[in-house]
Structures are given as C-alpha cells and as structure tokens.
Amino acid sequence: MPRGPRIAPSWALLLRLLALLRPLGLGEACSCAPAHPQQHVCRSALAIRAKISSEKVVPASADPADTQKMIRYEIKQIKMFKGFEKVSDIQYIYTPFDSSLCGVRLEANSQKQYLLTGQVLSDGKVFIHLCNYIEPWENLSFLQRESLNHQYHLNCGCQITTCYTVSCTISAPNECLWTDWLLERKLYGYQAQHYVCTKHADGTCSWYQRHLPLRKEFVDIIQP
C-alpha cells in the first residue's frame, strides 16, 4: 500500500496533539511531566548519539493551507542505542519550529554531540521535542552512558516515581522513588546521573549504582 498519503496526517496530527497538551494560561510555554532518564529511554522509540550537521526550516505538511513549520536537522549518527527495528541510519530529525509546541534548539555545525531520544512517525521520520530526553553527550555521567547500552532497556519493567515531599512512599514492589527534586531541587541531580532502577529475580526493583552502596539520603527516603 502506498505510504505517501499518510505523511501529511502524521505531522499534522502530532502538532495538533502538542498544541492540545499546552497548559492553559501559559501562552507560549512548553510544559513536560518530569521523567527519569531511564524512563525517557524506555518510553522512546529511539535513542541515538549524534552531531548536528545543519538545520533548515521546512513545511510541516504538503498542505498549502497548513502554516505550521518544522526544523529539519541533518545529523551525523554516531551510535544507536534503541530503535534498530524501526530505522537504520538516520539522516534527518524533525522538531516543531514553534517553541510553544516544545520545539528543540540544537547547535549545528559544531563539535557538540547529543544524546537524542524521540519517536519514529508512521512515515519513518524521526521526531523530537523538549519532553524527550535530549542532553549534550558531555553532560552525561559514565553510568548514564554505560546504561544506554543495556541497563536502561533491561529494567523497563520498573516504575520510577518522582518524590516531591518527604511523605512519598513505595506503593508497589517494582517501584523506585526518585528523590532528586526533593533533595536537590532539580530533576537531573545525583540520583538521575548515577543510579539505575534495577529489577530483581523476585520482581522487585531498587536503585543500583554498580557496586557502590546507596547514599544515606536515599536510604532515609526509601526506607523511612
């Protein structure tokens, strides 16, 4: 079956959904629910390491009446961690031009490398936005880089819950409590950078940092 007619609807539908998800009263703001890097990788269809070669503003669809624009980034793919069954070598990625629709601004024609997570649309194009996990490669810890190969994927059955108050508790045996916001007032703190929520043989999950013990602050929260 020809795939051409599905291309425009895939872009248009995605942009409409992002517009609907925009919180009322925030105008031009883009708002995303917090997620641990492990959750981002598990929920995304694709995770790659790449450099941005160039960028170009392109129409969001072939419909002349559609005024939406996209940014098309030409990339040099360095390594793929997830998405092998959907795409192979990626030449372009797309993001909304409109910042209120969570468009991503990346540095082109530089030596900077990025970890990019995102979706693969029905027409095979790769789509990213600010609610994906997108970080300069140099900002990732050694554990994060290592976990992209195996640990994040192997432990997608674990549930990670963000803690905002000291009263948060585990509600399921496969749950890990993410305390970076509570302890450091930022999402991607020490726990996000150095721990993986790991599933055990009995179905329970707990934080793991290679062979190092949990920091005392995490133990106090997780084991009240």
Domain boundaries, the chain: 37-208
* Least confident residue range of 62-66, 99-103, 184-188, 217-221: 217-221
Q: Which of 37, 151, 25, 15 is nearest to 95 (CA)?
A: 15
Q: Which of 48, 36, 38 is nearest to 153 (CA)?
A: 38
Copy the structure tokens of residue 136.
């300069």
- Of residues 218 and 147, the one with the higher pLDDT is 147
How far apart CA 94 and CA 58 sit, in angstroms, is 9
102 is in an annotated binding site: no
What are the phi and psi torsion angles at 189 (to 5°)? -95, -150
How far apart CA 12 and CA 146 sit, in angstroms, is 36
Q: State pLDDT tens for residues 109-143.
A: 999 999 999 999 888 899 999 999 999 999 999 99
Residue 208, pLDDT > 60, answer yes
Copy the structure tokens of residue 109.
């024609």
- Rounded mean pLDDT, 11-26: 47
The pLDDT value recorded for residue 70 is 94
What are the phi and psi torsion angles at 152 (to 5°)? -60, -45
The pLDDT value recorded for residue 60 is 83
The pLDDT value recorded for residue 213 is 45
DSSP classification of residue 32: -
- Which amino acid appears at position 209 of this protein? Q
How far apart CA 48 and CA 62 sit, in angstroms, is 28
Q: State pLDDT tens for residues 65-121.
A: 878 899 999 999 999 999 998 888 899 999 999 888 899 999 999 999 999 999 998
* Extended beta strands in 97-178, E state: 113-120, 126-127, 134-136, 159-162, 175-178
The pLDDT value recorded for residue 124 is 86
Average pLDDT, the chain: 84
How far apart CA 100 and CA 164 sit, in angstroms, is 26
Q: Can you tell me which residue has the tokens 């997830």?
A: 82
% of the chain surpassing 70 pLDDT? 81
% of the chain surpassing 90 pLDDT? 65
Residue 13, pLDDT > 70, answer no
CATH of 37-208, one of 2.40.160.40, 2.40.50.100, 2.40.50.120, 1.10.1060.10: 2.40.50.120
The pLDDT value recorded for residue 22 is 45
